[in-house]
Structure 1
Amino acid sequence: MTNSAPRHRAPRTHARLRRTLVVGAVLVVGVLAVSGGALASSFAVNRSASAPSAVQHASGSVGATPSPSSNASHEGAAGGLQDPAIPIPSADVSGVTVSRVQIPAIGVDAAVELIDRDATGVLLPPGKWADAGWYRSGVLPGRVGPAIIAGHLDTTLREAVFAHLKQLVAGDRVTVTLSDGSQSTFAVDSAINVEKKTFPTQEVYGPTPDAQLRLITCNGPYDDAAHSYANNYVVFASLVAPGT
């Protein structure tokens, strides 16, 4: 992503959301999975049989707060994100967590769930399509190192919290609010669209000399047969001084 990239702010309808969907279809969101020593990405969430088959487009901004029922994770249990194959900075032990993420440029103002690994080492994605998820065993935003916030791209019914992540350009701001009320603001530096099989583990998860943020979702093309997106989209951002 370069500074000269066009800024398209109007919501876009994903091609997959325009398709006619059947009951039992699968929604896919971006995750990372270690396979054969290389980091790749593929979340898969099975939609419940009772879910409507008709396409329902999101109304308003992606970050608009939906009713509890519309934001419920009724589509089924999620596949996971394995821990990166390289060391990451130690998790914060202060008890402070991430409560909200705001990205004004794309209309995101979302609650943040705490996501972590299960007993097998797999990191589960956010349980709600309109929420983002902070990797709680990683870096607390604002501390030295790469903090990780992931979010769904879409579901078979609607766009999700990070549906318009690709519209961000260098300089756009991301504000993260912690549970103690403090905030950290980051400026977008760059972004990459990567194939799962060549996921840049070191670049995304490797240690950094300053406070940074990674926003991760999945990206096309979408493979209907495999029920999976082929790529991940990763936004890199750096902490900015208060008031700047």
Structure 2
Amino acid sequence: MTAPQSPQPNPSPDPTKEAAVPRPVGRGLIWAVSAFLLGAILVYNSVDTSADAKPQSSYAATPTAAAPTPTPTPETPASSAPDLALARSVPKRLSIPEIAVDAPFTPLTLGPNGQLNAPPAGDKNLVGWYQDGATPGERGAAIVAGHVDTKTGPAVFLQLETLKPGALVEITREDGIVATFKVDSVETFSKANFPNDRVYADTPDPQLRLITCGGSYDHKVKDYMANVVAFAHLVSSRRA
């Protein structure tokens, strides 16, 4: 699968590409600018088995300033549960029973060109988290990316686009807390017109973005033409 790619507006797949992501400057200001740096995530997972098939793609973004917080919609609550916000803690495992996902995390960083690097394409059951952004359960929008497929077959987020609103997503964190998120919506966006501000904008409450590739596959560029994004918000937490 190829990672989600967005245009290069002035405002996080190809093994040689990466994707961008933002998070506050003091961690508040950096994430705001960071999150908009995020542009569109590109998780490349090509199903092309040709020798020159690219193993992974990236996420683009180069905003010049932090974008304003999006106007709340039914799909993205204005303040889902600010009082439920957790302290910062690295995510260890992702579980989405509805689509049979049970996978470990790997940290993702930005590449030289300011794009978010995609997760390694060699492991089909692995998700990546933008380590300089909000951690799942912390205030802000935590960014999680995974491949839809790889050159060897289906991957972790193969069924992400079939996820329904109301589905639960559980993330086990390093501090022993399991953060539970409820899916608000799952949408597909063209990489040529990716809504960076909506996907990567900082939020006043704990939210989650799950991103993978989608749409048609272009064999000429060895990349998918769209990205699938699941929007979710924190509803509860418990000790593992």
Q: Secondary structure at the match of 1:123?
A: coil
Superposition deviation, residue 232 in structure 1: 0.4
Q: Which residue of 2 aligns with 1:116?
A: 109
Amino acid at match of 1:183: V
- Is the contact made by 1:43 and 1:228 (CA closer than 8 Å) also made in structure 2? no
Mapped to 2, the partners of 1:216 and 1:193 lie a distance apart of 10
- Render the CA deviation track for 1:176-195: whole Å, top value 9, x for unaligned: 11122211100000111110
Residues 36 and 212 of structure 1, relative CA distance in 2, 3 Å threshold: closer
Q: Secondary structure at the match of 1:111?
A: strand
Q: Which residue of 2 aligns with 1:62?
A: none
1:228 equivalenced with 2:223 (yes/no): yes
Amino acid at match of 2:10: G
My pick for the range that moved more, 192-201 or 37-46, is 37-46
Residues 165 and 45 of structure 1, relative CA distance in 2, 3 Å threshold: closer
Residues 233 and 150 of structure 1, relative CA distance in 2, 3 Å threshold: same
- Is the contact made by 1:44 and 1:228 (CA closer than 8 Å) also made in structure 2? yes
Q: Secondary structure at the match of 2:197?
A: helix
Amino acid at match of 2:66: P
Superposition deviation, residue 79 in structure 1: 3.7
How do 1:35-46 residues align onto structure 2 when only pairs under 5 Å count? 35-37=8-10, 39-40=39-40, 42-44=42-44
Superposition deviation, residue 199 in structure 1: 0.5
Q: Secondary structure at the match of 1:241?
A: strand
Greater C-alpha Rg: 1
Residues 177 and 33 of structure 1, relative CA distance in 2, 3 Å threshold: same
Q: Secondary structure at the match of 2:149?
A: coil
| Equivalent residue in structure 2 for 1:169, among 145, 154, 164 | 164
Mapped to 2, the partners of 1:172 and 1:95 lie a distance apart of 24
Structure 2 spans left out of the alignment, 5+ residues: 12-38, 68-86
Q: Secondary structure at the match of 1:204?
A: helix
Mapped to 2, the partners of 1:52 and 1:227 lie a distance apart of 10
1:87 equivalenced with 2:66 (yes/no): yes
- Render the CA deviation track for 1:127-160: whole Å, top value 9, x for unaligned: 1221000000111111111100000000132100
My pick for the range that moved more, 29-38 or 224-233, is 29-38
1:240 equivalenced with 2:235 (yes/no): yes
Amino acid at match of 2:193: T
Mapped to 1, the partners of 2:88 and 2:166 lie a distance apart of 31
Q: Which residue of 2 aligns with 1:201?
A: 196
Residues 40 and 178 of structure 1, relative CA distance in 2, 3 Å threshold: closer
1:136 equivalenced with 2:114 (yes/no): no
- Is the contact made by 1:84 and 1:201 (CA closer than 8 Å) also made in structure 2? no
Mapped to 1, the partners of 2:207 and 2:131 lie a distance apart of 15
Q: Which residue of 2 aligns with 1:101?
A: 94
Identity %, equivalent residues: 35
Residues 82 and 231 of structure 1, relative CA distance in 2, 3 Å threshold: closer
1:211 equivalenced with 2:184 (yes/no): no
- Render the CA deviation track for 1:96-152: whole Å, top value 9, x for unaligned: 311110000010000010001123322211112210000001111111111000000
| Equivalent residue in structure 1 for 2:173, among 175, 178, 192 | 178
